[in-house]
Amino acid sequence: MRRPLDAAIPALRLPDGISLRTWRASDAPAVHALLVQAYAQGGGRVDDYAAWVRSFTTDLEHDPECCFLAFHGERLAGAALCWSSAFIKDLCVAAPYRRQGLGSALLSHTLQYFAAAGARAVTLKVEADNPSGADRLYERMGFEPQPECWVTRLESS
């Protein structure tokens, strides 16, 4: 999906008690646990911790400044992990914080960040079997389906 940044970006409205900050290396265990939880029912996958953290942090497009974490106190409530190319790699919200506007807030913040950085659009991929309804959230936030941005997981026989 693709979201041009020349259109108005919804205002950032964080749910009560939620704060945002950028990635720190010490966040890796909590972020990995959130990804495992978020993808447990489908819609994506995450490697074991050691492989994931190595791959994520050594990728040429990894930039801690464009990975946004939402906290409720000390508890990780959600994450928008982005590549420096204005690509949203993962957007996850922990189960107790879903349906409260946190996904929209993370997307608004991400769009504002990349617009300020001079990007023309933000892209992401959604797996066709994503059970979370993420595609509806993305469409509400102005993302447009792009055939090359849909991934279908192939099941091995």
Rounded distance between C-alpha atoms, residue 34 and residue 39, angstroms: 9
Task: Give the mean pLDDT of 16-25.
Answer: 97
Per-residue pLDDT, 55: 96
Per-residue pLDDT, 153: 39
Per-residue pLDDT, 127: 77
Tokens, residue 151: 């991934």
Convert the pLDDT of each residue in 22-74 to its tens digit. 999 999 999 999 999 998 887 788 999 999 999 999 999 999 999 999 999 99
Please report, rounded to a whole number, the percentage of residues in the chain having pLDDT higher than 70: 90
Smallest Cα–Cα separation from 31: which of 15, 14, 47?
Answer: 47
Does 151 have pLDDT greater than 70? no
Give the model's confidence band at 154: pLDDT under 50 very low, under 70 low, under 90 confident, else very high: very low
Does 107 have pLDDT greater than 90? yes
Q: Reduced to 3 DSSP states, what percent helix, strand and coil does the chain have, rounded to the nearest 5?
A: 35, 30, 40
Please tell me the pTM assigned to this model. Answer: 0.89
Which residue ranges form the domains of the chain, and what is each CATH number? 2-151 (3.40.630.30)
